[in-house]
Amino acid sequence: MKHFILSIVLIFTIVNLTAQEYQFTDVVDIESSSVKSQGKTGTCWSFSTSSFIESEIYRLTKKNIDISEMYTVRNTYEDKAWNYVMRQGKIQFSEGGLAHDVINSIRDNGLVPEIVFSGIKFEDKIYNHSKIVPSVKIVLDSFIKNDKDSMYPNWKKEVSKILDKEIGKTPIDFSFEGKTYTPQTFGYNLGDKLLQAVSERMCSKLRDYAKAEKSCSDAVEKEVCHNRLKV
């Protein structure tokens, strides 16, 4: 009987303790943007890096700006298609990517706000790129195999058509908060040092990782920081 009573008391005590909410105290509050869904796509690389860049934009300008992940993704698909053709289909063509793809896209194509280019079709509720890679590969593989005798001699135009249909046409210019921008001028407006600051932070983390893994940090710095993230 004693054991039963002790068990009841113990259970009651545990339940009572777990019911009490722990009060966390902020030590450092790092501004971050809201969590967004990548839907049915393999574009985590764009969403995660864009979130990092949004935090950097706030740190440098004190502005909370939701940038378009899919603007970067769409431009990167075209870069991947070019690389795939130039290497005669000997490399992978997929939805996946890495952080430096976002940095390179910003450098070459600028930025746009999410409100300007969502990259999602009106009839869809979530992102879905299941048709993009198979459709684009048909065009690219046909050109690689048959060159000018291919059904798609102008493969760049055909790839652009597919991306326009599945993601949307990229804007030439747009209005935001009462001003008119191009994607390039919008990126510059956020701060000339944005890319440099982001690149330096990313490279610093890569160097630390390389040293921790006892890898050749000089090789990592040359390949990733100097070549891929050069701004």
Q: 127-163: buried (b, 16+ CB within 10 Å) or exposed (e) per residue?
A: bebeebbebbbebbbbbbeeeeebebeebeebbbebb
3 vs 59, residue with greater confidence: 59
Q: Boundaries of CATH 3.90.70.10 in the chain?
A: 38-191
* Calpha distance 61→23 (Å, rounded): 32
Residue 91 pLDDT: 92
Radius of gyration of the chain (CA): 24
* Calpha distance 195→107 (Å, rounded): 7
Residue 228 pLDDT exceeds 80: no
79 vs 3, residue with greater confidence: 79
17 vs 33, residue with greater confidence: 33
| Highest mean predicted confidence (pLDDT) among 30-34, 48-52, 201-205, 212-216 | 48-52
Q: Range with the lowest mean pLDDT among 2-16, 28-42, 61-75?
A: 2-16
Enter the pTM of the model. 0.75
Residue 207 pLDDT: 57
What tokens does 99 get? 């952080």
Q: Which of 136, 164, 149 is nearest to 70 (CA)?
A: 164
Average pLDDT, the chain: 80
Residue 103 pLDDT: 86
* Calpha distance 163→133 (Å, rounded): 10
**Architecture category of domain 38-191 in CATH:** Alpha-Beta Complex (3.90)
Residue 191 pLDDT: 56
103 vs 4, residue with greater confidence: 103
Q: Range with the lowest mean pLDDT among 20-29, 82-91, 96-105?
A: 20-29
